[in-house]
Structure 1
Amino acid sequence: MRYLYTAFFYLITPFILLRLLWRSRLAPAYAKRWQERFGFFGHVRAQDSIWVHAVSVGETLAALPMIKSLMQRYPDTPIVVTTTTPTGSERVKAALGDSVLHVYAPYDMPGCVGRFLNRVQPKLAIIMETELWPNTVAACHRRGIPVVLANARLSAKSAKGYQRFSALAAPMLSQLSVVGAQHHDDAQRFYDLGLSQQQCQVTGSIKFDITLGEELRSAAQDLHNDWADCSGRPILLAASTHLGEDEKVLQGFHRILEQQPTTLLVLVPRHPERFDKVADLCRQQFTIQRRSEGGRIEGGTQVLVGDTMGEMMTFFGACDMAFMGGSWIESGGHNMIEPAAWGKPVFTGPSLFNFAEVSRLLIEAEGMGVVDTPEALASEVCRLIENPDQAKAMGENALAVADANRGALDRLLAIIDQQFNR
């Protein structure tokens, strides 16, 4: 089955390149460094390195505490970090600079993966969440490179997809060294696909292990003071919105302004190639400013478009409440642990399969509310603005969940140590 999969991958390579060019229309970085995706990246060698693969921004942010811990544990070991998107690449460079080697992950074809491994020569491979590729795993297994699937999650939807290709998925799973699953439900789905229980440990989600340093807290407070101005205006953050969600957020914001006319909406699209379109959409209906333009927020500004990269954690600290995007479309939601760690009330739509266990904990603790419609979002936001004690209690409930579930990083690092030193 893997041979058929490989042949198919080679056949569609021209279309993959065309897709890169198509995406580069809005995000020019997709047309750059494409050679790395085929395993060509100069003469850099990093023998006995630790290879960490994170797909995009979310996985990269989750991996950063782990990577920094590995740098402290193994100061003489090169760290190689791969991503598949330019935004993930930017996050790696901004957070880690030249302390790690970053390249784009090779396409899952034997030649590409082989060239990559020849140059990097890892002693250990760590794959974040569920970015599993049959040829990559097989190549590592053949070379005796342990593969750790870290912070692993497997939704019921994804499990069904793997089940349809069980002849390809089962051998791949058998070649993994260890799976550090976020929850027992994730582990069970891996077992159902053929993973042995000896290969899996439930570590929890390392996304709970967030450190909010004094510098970050200070920056968030300064930003809050700017946004709230002297009037103490309420601040609603709509974070990581997707195509089809911005209109709904703005629809709900119209209703919020009818009852709370001083409210400021901070709208942050998920993908940078949409920044201009979302800004134009907001400008048609509201008085706006763009974060990239700098300057203080004017009193008459109704919507601030968050069109910068790397500031989301500061935005969570600066807002009064947050709505998480990717949840009003079938995208499975985005990381609601981040606003919870700041002690902010959290709202989300009904699509939550990417964070099923986290969302369950937050909902049961009354730290997060699910809103199906823009009208429901407006109603809940206005309720909290009018009842600050309820808003405070909801934020404290969210923070309690975040604090109670820390410790996954230490459990994951213990697994990595065992595999690295075996």
Structure 2
Amino acid sequence: MGRNGLGSGPGSGVGADLGIGLGIGRLGLWWQLRRAAGQNGAAAPDIPQGAGPLLLVHVSPDARVAFSQVQRRLMRARPDLRILELADPSAPAAETLMRAGPAALLLLGSDLPPALVNAAGRRDLPIILAEARFAPEDAGWSLRALARRELLRPIRAVLVTDPASHATALRMGADRRRVAMTGPVAEIRDPLPCSEAERSILAQLLRGRHAWLAASVPPDEEEAVLAAHHAALAQSHRALLFLAPRDPDRIDPLADRIEASGLVVARRSLDEDPSDDVHVMLTDGPTEMGLWYRLAPVTYLGGTLGGDDGAARHPFEPAALGSAIVHGPHTDRFATEWQQLGGAGAARQVGSPEELAAAIAELSQPDLIATLASNAWTVSTGGADVTIRICAPVLDAIGKAKP
């Protein structure tokens, strides 16, 4: 006999541990279902009318953006599709839903509603889990973790957002052939518009000058931006700064301050042009941003250096229009998007005014700008690709469903 009275024969070791884990997992799932049965879970909603296939969808709170994009793409592919979004149903409600003959169940986010997954799994209904994020404790041995492992077993496709979640899903026992990393569904933003006539005229005036944009700059970052432009001028004496102050009332005081430092200023509000002798073009604040992003190969997004990112512009705005992005460490407002850009080498982060100046001076080199801008464009449009990858197994399951 081994320690604790366990034998060392064929039934012990890793196999025994797995068997014990599976048994406890089933116990944990039974406990979750039992607890849910004693609570007032959501009742079965009305089934959408129509002759098309029925898709059940459960959306976690962190997957609302994903759902809106997935829903649009699915409906474009199958206009007859009936999509029923569900809350966490009670066990009787889940059974009622199964009797409606759904073609598949799509789970968006990290929640695994026990009654719904259990009912679908017992009927071998295709279950697709997408936009999934797993925490390290999901691979642990707590009752909750083991119950989640059990819920993962009948899921046919597990599409996760990041490498850590991919590794955790495998440690939870998910079949490697069913797990794929897609990345998260990012919000797809239409490129900001501009007047093509204005863009063409201004582009001709620039005639190859190195230009960069400081967008939505708060007052406490103005000095850092101007110091960065002096560094750019030292690198390229024809460098041009498009400066978009967050507060349009700062335009005139800024013009006086810049001119006092020896630089030549043009103001969009006075219909002045960025002629060859102009060093700084003051825009009309937050207006015409689509124009400035198109004209500036490099954009610094204001508010991210000094910590006032509450009114910072969305980073996919310049990314979608081919402008390389520089930003500070304060990125809470669009944390997911900044994480995607940083992970893809699609943005340059700086931590101080001195680092901003160095980055702007360095990014006068076209090859560095092109790499950043290309990576950023790929990330900003990648939400469409991730959405396609999520919809593919859903449409496959629907196509194979019996009429």
CA–CA separation in structure 1 for the residues paired with 2:115 and 2:290: 36
Aligned identity (percent) is 14
For the 8 Å contact 2:228–2:356, the answer to whether it is kept is no
CA–CA separation in structure 1 for the residues paired with 2:115 and 2:125: 13
Out of 380, 395, 399, the position equivalent to 1:417 is 395
- Show the 5 A alignment for 1:109-258: 110=90, 114=94, 117=97, 122-142=102-122, 144-154=124-134, 158-160=135-137, 163=140, 165-182=144-161, 186-200=165-179, 202=180, 204-205=182-183, 207=185, 216-217=190-191, 219-222=192-195, 235-236=213-214, 251-252=220-221, 255-257=224-226
Specify the code of the residue in structure 1 equivalent to 2:344.
L
SS at match of 1:172: helix
In the alignment, structure 1 residue 395 sits paired with structure 2 residue 399: no
- Pair member with larger Rg: 2
For the 8 Å contact 1:150–1:180, the answer to whether it is kept is yes
For the 8 Å contact 2:44–2:89, the answer to whether it is kept is no
- Compute the displacement of 1:174 (Å): 1.3
Specify the code of the residue in structure 2 equivalent to 1:221.
C
CA–CA separation in structure 1 for the residues paired with 2:337 and 2:170: 19
- Show the 5 A alignment for 1:343-362: 343-347=322-326, 349=329, 358-359=340-341, 362=344
- Compute the displacement of 1:343 (Å): 2.6
Gap change, CA 1:262 and 1:402, over 3 Å in 2: closer
SS at match of 1:71: helix
- Compute the displacement of 1:323 (Å): 5.0
Give the TM-score of the pair, scaled to structure 2. Answer: 0.54
Gap change, CA 1:351 and 1:41, over 3 Å in 2: same
Gap change, CA 1:406 and 1:198, over 3 Å in 2: same
SS at match of 2:193: helix
Specify the code of the residue in structure 2 equivalent to 1:49.
L
For the 8 Å contact 2:65–2:186, the answer to whether it is kept is no
Q: Using the TM superposition, name which of 385-394 and 120-129 deviates more.
A: 385-394
SS at match of 1:180: strand
- Compute the displacement of 1:51 (Å): 3.4
Gap change, CA 1:118 and 1:298, over 3 Å in 2: farther
Specify the code of the residue in structure 2 equivalent to 1:370.
Q
CA–CA separation in structure 2 for the residues paired with 1:369 and 1:11: 53
CA–CA separation in structure 1 for the residues paired with 2:170 and 2:121: 20
CA–CA separation in structure 2 for the residues paired with 1:344 and 1:357: 18
SS at match of 2:129: strand
For the 8 Å contact 1:322–1:339, the answer to whether it is kept is no
Gap change, CA 1:11 and 1:40, over 3 Å in 2: closer
Q: Could you tell me which residue of structure 1 aligns to residue 254 of structure 2?
A: none
Specify the code of the residue in structure 1 equivalent to 2:71.
I
* Structure of greater relative contact order (alpha carbons < 8 Å, 6+ residues apart): 2
Gap change, CA 1:258 and 1:380, over 3 Å in 2: closer
Give the TM-score of the pair, scaled to structure 1. Answer: 0.52
SS at match of 2:125: coil
In the alignment, structure 1 residue 49 sits paired with structure 2 residue 18: no
In the alignment, structure 1 residue 321 sits paired with structure 2 residue 290: no
Unaligned stretches of 5+ in structure 2? 1-27, 230-240, 252-267, 271-281, 308-313
For the 8 Å contact 1:51–1:126, the answer to whether it is kept is yes
Q: Could you tell me which residue of structure 1 aligns to residue 238 of structure 2?
A: none
For the 8 Å contact 2:325–2:347, the answer to whether it is kept is yes
Number of residue pairs matched by the alignment: 318
For the 8 Å contact 1:148–1:176, the answer to whether it is kept is yes
Unaligned stretches of 5+ in structure 1? 14-36, 83-104, 239-245, 267-281, 288-296, 306-311, 329-334
For the 8 Å contact 2:138–2:168, the answer to whether it is kept is no
CA–CA separation in structure 1 for the residues paired with 2:196 and 2:92: 45
CA–CA separation in structure 2 for the residues paired with 1:382 and 1:265: 18
SS at match of 1:169: helix
For the 8 Å contact 1:253–1:378, the answer to whether it is kept is no
Gap change, CA 1:43 and 1:184, over 3 Å in 2: closer
Specify the code of the residue in structure 2 equivalent to 1:419.
A
